[in-house]
Homo-oligomer: A and B are copies of this chain.
Amino acid sequence: MKEKYVNQANPNVSVDCVVFGFDGSDLKVLLVQRDLRDNLDIDDDTLVLPGDLINDDEDLDEAASRILKGLTGIKNIFLEQIGAFGSPKRLLKKRDQVWLNAIRILPNARVITIGYFALVNIKNYKTKPAGFAKHVLWQDYNTVEELGFDHNVILNSAISVLRDKLYREPVGFQLLGKEFSLHQLYTLYNEIMGGDIDRRNFRRKMLKTGFLKETENYQEGVPHKPARLYTFAKKKFDNVSKANFKFY
């Protein structure tokens, strides 16, 4: 039993983040372009999710925070693990193997990735390249094509976690600014859920959840132009509570 482990190298463990952002009308994902530095003979403009190998002395969550901090300067945002990914090395795409060899840090071990997903309000932060990233960009979720490694799998997993969460938890607020109109929130839900939600029912139901607090300019009965603004009123959220974010 023991002997079998001795001959196999431990896998490299990396953390990759799916960072979703919303610009008011479209759902975006933060992607980076790999930077080969001194191996410039290799032509590789593959896009990947921002990620890095985990450090010896840090928690998994800490690693994810670190990566995000490096690229966006953000601390303390919504960030949650979505799971571990990683097929044996023999299943890697050639392009990715070349890349791994080029950076010489992973000679004979596979890579296992812990995926995280994060929600940020795009307008609040400036992105900047860091680590192995040559460029950082916000890409429209619907236009994302083939990514490096198994990052499409991770992205798909993240979007379904996001949709699922949006149904069940007051999590969409993270994608908007501090103050927002119900119209903005509605647009967000409609975009992400791909649905065709009734505007009026959405409004009533969302207000009834108790997660919205009016800002000072509130005045009953008067239609506003521009729209009335709300903030997210954090209240204790019971997982099994009746707060229900399903909209038909």
Contact = CB atoms under 8 A, between A and B. Distances in A.
Interface of A: 1-2, 4-6, 8-13, 53-60, 81-90, 103-105, 109-110, 112, 114, 131-132, 160, 164, 167, 239-240
Contact of A57 (B57, B83, B88): B88
Contact of A60 (B5, B6, B112): B112
A60 B86 contact: yes
Contact of A83 (B2, B5, B81): B81
Q: Is the interface of A mostly helix, strand, loop or mixed?
A: loop
Contacts of A2: 103-105
Contacts of A6: 105
Contacts of A13: 10-11, 13, 112
Copies in the assembly, this chain: 2
A54 to B, nearest CB: 7
Nearest to A112: B13
Given A2-B103, A81-B83, A84-B114, A10 B11 contact: yes
A10 B10 contact: yes
A96 to B, nearest CB: 17
A54 B11 contact: yes
Given A10-B109, A54-B112, 19 more contacts: A1-B131, A2-B104, A5-B53, A5-B105, A8-B56, A9-B10, A10-B10, A10-B11, A11-B11, A11-B54, A13-B13, A56-B110, A59-B87, A60-B84, A60-B86, A83-B84, A84-B114, A112-B112, A112-B114
